[in-house]
Every structure is written in structure tokens, then in C-alpha cells.
């Protein structure tokens, strides 16, 4: 790993002070946590243009802008390897929720879903003045849908050939790899062998595979094995994204899932993990439905619900999922984020909505409510079904990095998961400062240097001369998440300054007018 080979670089005073031009920005007196996992040290950090020019005792050097960071930490800007930022990057190009956590780069296109083709979308992002850097994966589910639709069948050889061509073009357009959402339609209809064939193309072009696994509850271990197999047989790095264990009967299985990762790495499979630090997940209300019932899209699902026998089968599965899976035994554990057909439902849980229909919130009645919500167009929801012990165990794994699985919300609209506002600050405030689960240096590495290495972003993720100047200045005694499930629209606190590509986008706790964010392109782009 590059971090182990690097020493703290100091430059001579002749080089520093003999230059005619001052530094553009000089951060002085900070504790530098450089993203490598190495111990912090005191140093000044100088920036010229979009590059970190020097790190060392630079306090007397000339600079256009000086920042006194005594008592604060300087770290690389955080890299969110699993983000749904395309939902809001055009509406909120400052991405203030991410800035106030210290995030300087978000990676889109997870869970098997992405724009396709990528080039026009990335061109649109590039032409939009944004505050943070933006990159993307290509979604296997999107590729499959374009070739064969939302049908539950194996792809024909010629169809697999078309999918491979689309994946290769996406890599040439700038994708960082292939994402799969094998829990979602149509990814869940995909045989593992089909994914592997596409993964081989992406791997040859330098990309990685990142997967929302096929199952995160009763069959979570089989899903981990499948994710490992895709990397092993596909010949590319593979990552279990937002790793968690859902449903009370399954709690504790992270012991075995992590053992599978360790065993795979021992035999040479490059498998890693990312995680958000919460005991609730978030996805559509359709997650409660049997996957077969979603084939063909909304119209086909409505037709099945209109058939009494099929409706009964669907309802029985929803009841079981409320008891043992994402419902964790109580409809109140399912909270609605947003429903396109009724904004007033945001923030209400499934028990409350069921009671508002004039019936008791039994499992069966709550299942009928879920059917009604899906029939009207569906809702996104938060599911409280994860145990803190599993969160801690996964977090402690040396193969885990931090990712939000969040979005860029319009402040005050809907009721999003608090991870969109708090993930990175929560790790630093709760799991570093309060609970001592991670050291400060290790946590920062999991947010910066580690994901940068994973994505082959060799010029980001470390505070070192020659690296791109993505930098965050924060107060380690104050940084904290504020977003709550019932009051999610609250920015994190404790991040004072954020630099993206050499420009201050957050300064003295205020968003500036600078918009230096860039589209970052993956290794397959010519």
C-alpha cells in the first residue's frame, strides 16, 4: 500500500521562501491526520492552485489566504464511495449536507442503477457549477433492463454480448466499475454467472465491482459468498456495500460474514466492505414484497394484486417480512421517507398509517397498507431492523470503509434517512470520540485514503505534496451529527473549513460562492 511507503515530506526553507509567488492558501498549526492511518503530527499545509504544495513547518511562508488551525485537525477530504447524489446534485449543487461533514467527493451509480449512457449525464454534471467532486459506477441492473427489460429469465448469449458491450462503453465513458443491486428488479433475476461475464469486462478495464447483495437477512451469508465469487471468478476487486445484518433472527451473523471475507482474502480475493453507522436501512416499500411479484414493473404488479390468489401470496410474504425481516416484528419500525402521491405521509410509520385507515396495526393490516401504498406508486421508507453489535463488529473489521448510502436532499423536504446528513460526522463523534471503537487516524483513513486506493484515485485521499488539494479542517472535540430519524434535516457540526481542488467551499462554517467540483473519470476512459 502506498501509505506504508510514504514519509512526512518536509521541504527546504530555500525552496519555500525563495519562490516569487506566495502560496494561495496556508493552513497553520494543525494536527495533520493524513489519511494513511499513520499517527497524527503537527504541521502546516500549503496549497498552490489545486495541488497540496508542501507539508511541514511553513508558518513564515507568504500566502494569499491564511487559516489558523491550532487545536483543529487537517485531514484529506472524505470520499463517499456509495452515494445517491444524482438525486439532488442539480437541485442543490453545493451539496451542503455533505460539505458540512467534510465530504469532498461522492461516487454515484450504486445498487445496480445508473444513468445509461453515462457520457451525456456526466457532461451535464460537468457543465453544472458544483462544490464537490462527482464520479459514478455503471449499474448492472440498468444495463440488463436496457437489453432485456424487467423479465425474470436468463439472458441469451447474444444478449450477454450486448450487456458486455454496454459495460465496456460505460467504462470508456468514465465509470469506476460495475455496481450490482441483486436485491432489486431486474438485478435479482440475474444468475451469478451472467454478472461474472460482465464483471470480467469491467475488470480488464481496471474497474471494481460493488454490490448491494442479493439478501441481507436470512440468506446474508450466501450473498456474501456470491459477492466474493463475482470478484474471484470475474478477476476484479469486489466490495460488499453498506454491509449489515437485517432482521432479529439473523443478528450476530456478521461474525460469520466477516470470517468469509477474511478467508477469501487469505486465498487472494480482493474483497472489501463499506458501511454506514446506523441501525436502520432505507429503500423502497417494495422491499417488503416478494421479488417475483415485481417482475415487469408497476403495471404487472398491479395485475397480480388484482388476482385474489396472487394477492394472498404477496400479502403472506409481506407479513413474514414485517415479522422477521425489515419490519423487525412491528409495523412501527417501518417509517415512510416520501410518497410521490401524498407528501403528508413523510415521517409517519406503517403502524400510524394503518391506524389512520381505521384498523388496528396488526401485521396483516399493515401488509394491506403496504400493498395500498405500493399500488398508488410506492414510497421510500426507513427500516429499523439492525443490531448495534453487528454495526460495531463490521466497523472494527480492517477491511471496512465508511460510506453514507445517502442523497443530496432539498433541505426541509420529505423525511430522509439521517445518514444523508450525518454519516461521517457520526463516525468521528460517536465511534471515535465517545465510544473509542476506532482511532481518529483509522477512521479518517476509512473515509479518505482507503476509498481513494479502492477507486485508484491516486492523486486524492492523502495530505501529501503533489496530491490534489481536497482538504477538511474540523474540531475533533466538537464534530458531531445532529440529524435524527424524526428530525433529519439538521446539518452536522464541527467542520469549519473545506477545500475542494484548492478552493475554499466552506470557510469559517459558511458556504462560499466557489464551485470547484469536478467530474472524476475512471481508469477505462481513454
pLDDT (0 to 100) of residue 59: 86
The Cα–Cα gap between 174 and 115 comes to 12
What b/e readout covers 429-444, taking b as 16+ CB neighbours within 10 angstroms? bebbbeeebbebbbbb
* R_g of the chain computed on alpha carbons: 23
* DSSP helix, strand, coil percent of the chain (3-state; round to 5): 35, 20, 40
Please count the structural domains in the chain. Answer: 3
The verdict on residue 225 lying in a domain is yes
pLDDT (0 to 100) of residue 21: 81
The grid coordinates of residue 495 equal: 467542520
The verdict on residue 58 lying in a domain is yes
Answer whether 170's CB lies under 8 Å from 112's CB.
Answer: no
How many CB atoms within 10 Å of residue 327?
Answer: 28
pLDDT (0 to 100) of residue 20: 59
The Cα–Cα gap between 313 and 290 comes to 9
Give yes or no: residues 247 and 305 share one domain: no
Q: In 130-205, where does DSSP find H-type helix?
A: 140-148, 157-173, 192-204
The verdict on residue 220 lying in a domain is yes
The grid coordinates of residue 487 equal: 428530525
Give yes or no: residues 330 and 254 share one domain: no
pLDDT (0 to 100) of residue 16: 47
The verdict on residue 106 lying in a domain is no
The Cα–Cα gap between 285 and 364 comes to 16
The verdict on residue 104 lying in a domain is no
Specify which residues 383 forms β-bridges with: 281, 334
Give yes or no: residues 161 and 298 share one domain: no
Give yes or no: residues 252 and 324 share one domain: no
Q: What is the 3-state secondary structure (H, E, C) of 1-23?
A: CHHHHCCCCCCCHHHHHCCCCCE
**Nearest-5° Cα angle at 177, 467 to 297:** 135
The verdict on residue 13 lying in a domain is yes
User: What are the distances in angstroms from CA 320 to CA 279, 313, 330, 369, 386?
Assistant: 20, 11, 11, 15, 17
Give yes or no: residues 234 and 257 share one domain: yes
Helix (H) or strand (E) holding 157: helix 157-173
The grid coordinates of residue 146 equal: 436496457
pLDDT (0 to 100) of residue 242: 98
Answer whether 496's CB lies under 8 Å from 508's CB.
Answer: yes
Specify which residues 507 forms β-bridges with: 510
The Cα–Cα gap between 140 and 51 comes to 35
Give yes or no: residues 248 and 120 share one domain: yes
The Cα–Cα gap between 520 and 62 comes to 31
Cell 450486448, located at residue: 162
Give yes or no: residues 196 and 288 share one domain: no
Give yes or no: residues 339 and 322 share one domain: yes
Closest CA to 13 of 63, 64, 58: 58
Specify which residues 51 forms β-bridges with: 48, 468
Give yes or no: residues 129 and 268 share one domain: yes
Please give the distance of CA 441 from its chain centroid, rounded to a whole number: 20
The grid coordinates of residue 91 equal: 437541485
Helix (H) or strand (E) holding 227: helix 220-234
Spell out the residues 6+ positions from residue 292 whose beta carbon is closer than 8 angstroms to its own. Answer: 152
The verdict on residue 524 lying in a domain is no
Q: Mapping DSSP to helix (H, G, I), strand (E, B) and coil, where does residue 392 land?
A: helix
Give yes or no: residues 118 and 180 share one domain: yes
Domain with 248, as residue range(s), is 111-240+242-279+390-402
pLDDT (0 to 100) of residue 19: 55
Specify which residues 338 forms β-bridges with: 380
The Cα–Cα gap between 351 and 146 comes to 38
Q: Residue 226 sits in a domain of what CATH number?
A: 3.20.20.140
pTM summary value: 0.94
Give yes or no: residues 140 and 250 share one domain: yes
Answer whether 198's CB lies under 8 Å from 163's CB.
Answer: yes
Give yes or no: residues 445 and 359 share one domain: no
Spell out the residues 6+ positions from residue 517 whose beta carbon is closer than 8 angstroms to its own. Answer: 93, 129, 130, 131, 132, 133, 134, 500, 501, 505
Q: Mapping DSSP to helix (H, G, I), strand (E, B) and coil, where does residue 193 land?
A: helix
pLDDT (0 to 100) of residue 70: 97
Divide the 526 residues of the chain into consecutive groups of 10 and give the mean pLDDT of each group. Answer: 41 46 95 98 98 96 97 98 96 98 98 98 98 98 97 97 98 98 97 98 98 97 98 98 97 98 98 98 94 91 92 95 94 94 94 95 95 93 97 98 98 96 98 98 98 98 98 98 97 98 98 98 96
The verdict on residue 139 lying in a domain is yes
The grid coordinates of residue 517 equal: 467540483
Q: Residue 436 sits in a domain of what CATH number?
A: 2.30.40.10
What are residue 375's phi and psi, to 5 degrees?
Answer: -65, -30
Amino acid at each position: 500500500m502506498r501509505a506504508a511507503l510514504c514519509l512526512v515530506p518536509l521541504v527546504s526553507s530555500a525552496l519555500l521562501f525563495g519562490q516569487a509567488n506566495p502560496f494561495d492558501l496556508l493552513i497553520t498549526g494543525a494536527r495533520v491526520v493524513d489519511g494513511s492511518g499513520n499517527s497524527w503530527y503537527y504541521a502546516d499545509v500549503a496549497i498552490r492552485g489545486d495541488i497540496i504544495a508542501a507539508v511541514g513547518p511553513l508558518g513564515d511562508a507568504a500566502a494569499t489566504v491564511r487559516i489558523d488551525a491550532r487545536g483543529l485537525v487537517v485531514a484529506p477530504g472524505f470520499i463517499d464511495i456509495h452515494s445517491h447524489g444524482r438525486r439532488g446534485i442539480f437541485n442543490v449543487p453545493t451539496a451542503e449536507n455533505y460539505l458540512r461533514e467534510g465530504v469532498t467527493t461522492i461516487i454515484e451509480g450504486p445498487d445496480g442503477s445508473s444513468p445509461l449512457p453515462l457520457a451525456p449525464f456526466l457532461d451535464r454534471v460537468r457543465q453544472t457549477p458544483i462544490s464537490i467532486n462527482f464520479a459514478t459506477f455503471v449499474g448492472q441492473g440498468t444495463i440488463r433492463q436496457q437489453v432485456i427489460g424487467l423479465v425474470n429469465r436468463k439472458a441469451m448469449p447474444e444478449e450477454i454480448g450486448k450487456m458486455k458491450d454496454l459495460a465496456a462503453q460505460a467504462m470508456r465513458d468514465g465509470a469506476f466499475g460495475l455496481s450490482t443491486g441483486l436485491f432489486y428488479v431486474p438485478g435479482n433475476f440475474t444468475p451469478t454467472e451472467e454478472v461474472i461475464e460482465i464483471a470480467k469486462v469491467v475488470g480488464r478495464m481496471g474497474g471494481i465491482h460493488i454490490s448491494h447483495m442479493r439478501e441481507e437477512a436470512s440468506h446474508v451469508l450466501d450473498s456474501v459468498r456470491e459477492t466474493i465469487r463475482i470478484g474471484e471468478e470475474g478477476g476484479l476487486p469486489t466490495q460488499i456495500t453498506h454491509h449489515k445484518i437485517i432482521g432479529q433472527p439473523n443478528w450476530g451473523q456478521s461474525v460469520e460474514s466477516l470470517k468469509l471475507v477474511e478467508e477469501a482474502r487469505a486465498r487472494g480475493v480482493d474483497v472489501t466492505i463499506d458501511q454506514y453507522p446506523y441501525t436502520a436501512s432505507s429503500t423502497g416499500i417494495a422491499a417488503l414484497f416478494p421479488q417475483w411479484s415485481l417482475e415487469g414493473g408497476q403495471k404487472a404488479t398491479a395485475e397480480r394484486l388484482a388476482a385474489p390468489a396472487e394477492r394472498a401470496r404477496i400479502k403472506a410474504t409481506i407479513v413474514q417480512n414485517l415479522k422477521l425481516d425489515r419490519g423487525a416484528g412491528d409495523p412501527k419500525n417501518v417509517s415512510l421517507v416520501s410518497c410521490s402521491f401524498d407528501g403528508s405521509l413523510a415521517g409517519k410509520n406503517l403502524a400510524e398509517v394503518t391506524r389512520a385507515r381505521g384498523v388496528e396495526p396488526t401485521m396483516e393490516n399493515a401488509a394491506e397498507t403496504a400493498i395500498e401504498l405500493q399500488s398508488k406508486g410506492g414510497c421510500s421508507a426507513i427500516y429499523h431492523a439492525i443490531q448495534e453489535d453487528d454495526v460495531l463488529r463490521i466497523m472494527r473489521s480492517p477491511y471496512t470503509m465508511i460510506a453514507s448510502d445517502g442523497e443530496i436532499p432539498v433541505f426541509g423536504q420529505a423525511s430522509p434517512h439521517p445518514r444523508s446528513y450525518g454519516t461521517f460526522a457520526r463516525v468521528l463523534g460517536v465511534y471515535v470520540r465517545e465510544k473509542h471503537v476506532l482511532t481518529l487516524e483509522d477512521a479518517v483513513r476509512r473515509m479518505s485514503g482507503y476509498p481513494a486506493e479502492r477507486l485508484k484515485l491516486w492523486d486524492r485521499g492523502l495530505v501529501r505534496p503533489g496530491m490534489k488539494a481536497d482538504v477538511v479542517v474540523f474540531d475533533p472535540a466538537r464534530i458531531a451529527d445532529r440529524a435524527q430519524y424524526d428530525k433529519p434535516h439538521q446539518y452536522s457540526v464541527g467542520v469549519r473549513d473545506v477545500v475542494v481542488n484548492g478552493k475554499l467551499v466552506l470557510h469559517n462554517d459558511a458556504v462560499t460562492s466557489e464551485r470547484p467540483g469536478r467530474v472524476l473519470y475512471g481508469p477505462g476512459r481513454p
